[in-house]
Amino acid sequence: MLRVLLADDSDLILDRLQQMLRLHPLVEIAGSFKDGIKTLEALKSLKPDLAIVDIKMPGLTGLEVLHEIRKEDSHLKFMILTFYSSENYRKLAISYGADYFFSKVDDFEKISPVVNELAKTLAV
């Protein structure tokens, strides 16, 4: 079972992600959060397999959350999902240890296949 933590300050995006992930039988949503501080705390306590995190959130940005969690957890798969999909943000996210960097506008449909592949990998 792939445990996924979601973090975005938009209820609409969180709802879309939850609906998509519920279609995967090998996926469990570990929690949904709307600010970076609670997201970081939840990543430490819930220990999900995958985090799907927005860049712009109150408290801590998604990049700050990524930077902090990588100090303690190098195995967590981390996906940045953002409207801020410039090459500068992409490079920064990768340098901080992001496994995936997707635009909410152009890449939303790429999330499901990635989640499916990660879930299959864990199930083996």
Burial 24-49 (b: 16+ CB within 10 A, else e): beebebbbbbbebebbbebbeeeebb
State the total domains in the chain. Answer: 1
Q: How does pLDDT run across 67-80, given as a tens digit for each residue?
A: 999 999 999 999 99
Q: How does pLDDT run across 28-48, given as a tens digit for each residue?
A: 999 999 999 999 999 999 999
**In this structure, is residue 45 part of a structural domain?**
yes
**In this structure, is residue 120 part of a structural domain?**
no
Q: How does pLDDT run across 12-29, given as a tens digit for each residue?
A: 999 999 999 999 999 999
DSSP 108: G
Contact present, 46 and 76 (Cβ < 8 Å): no
**In this structure, is residue 74 part of a structural domain?**
yes
Strand partners, 82: 103
**In this structure, is residue 46 part of a structural domain?**
yes
Q: How many other C-beta atoms are found inside a 10 Å radius of the C-beta of residue 87?
A: 7
**In this structure, is residue 21 part of a structural domain?**
yes
**In this structure, is residue 123 part of a structural domain?**
no
CATH number of the domain bearing residue 44: 3.40.50.2300
Q: What is the pTM of this model?
A: 0.96
What range does the domain containing 62 cover? 2-107
pLDDT at 124 over 90: no
Q: How does pLDDT run across 99-120, given as a tens digit for each residue?
A: 999 999 999 999 999 999 999 9
**In this structure, is residue 38 part of a structural domain?**
yes
